[in-house]
Amino acid sequence: MTSKIIDKEDYKTKITKKYTTFLAKYPEIFSDLISGSDFDFALYPSIEAYDKRAPIDIFNVYRNGNGIEIKPGSAIDSDLELALSLDAVEKLIQTKTKLEYAQLLGSFYNDPNEKNGWIDFILHKRTQTLIDMGYGRFAQTAGILKDDDEK
């Protein structure tokens, strides 16, 4: 898979530049998504900022036919927003594989903590539509979406 960061100088924060560089280095994180998937990553300094929907920076990842494009700002018609605390991002960029990244991301969703890190999802499309687009496979790997036969 290929990756491309577009307008890197337009990112507002150093942590966003680090995160986009990390994601570009590991485009296989997005290999389960179908071409045309487009979603926002919003970085929040606190739960209070998240409650007010006031991220310090936002970018989007578009899955094209052979890889990903990372662009500043919100997507025009994003599938979902992945909201992340800065603490979560600092830890996620230390991971070395898609599996390690997915499992850590899942732990921030399943066991959110103001000090250690948290994530949340704001869905802009029906859940089944997102699953069909490939988000479900990643969510299962992350432990966010459980199979019906798992308890």
* Cα gap 69→100, rounded to integer Å: 22
* Cα gap 87→109, rounded to integer Å: 13
Helix (H, G, I), strand (E, B) or coil at 44: strand
Confidence of residue 139 (pLDDT cuts 50, 70, 90): confident
Q: Report if pTM > 0.85.
A: yes
Confidence of residue 110 (pLDDT cuts 50, 70, 90): very high
In sequence order, what are the residues at sequence separation of 6 or more whose Cβ sits closer than 8 angstroms to the Cβ of residue 3?
23, 24, 25, 27, 67, 68, 69, 70
Q: What is the pLDDT of residue 148?
A: 52
* Cα gap 34→86, rounded to integer Å: 28
* Cα gap 31→135, rounded to integer Å: 10
Domain boundaries of the chain, sorted by first residue: 2-139
Find out if CATH 3.30.1050 is the number for domain 2-139. Answer: yes
Lowest mean pLDDT, pick from 5-9, 39-43, 66-70, 78-82: 5-9
Residue-wise pLDDT tens digits, 20-42 = 999 999 999 999 999 999 999 99
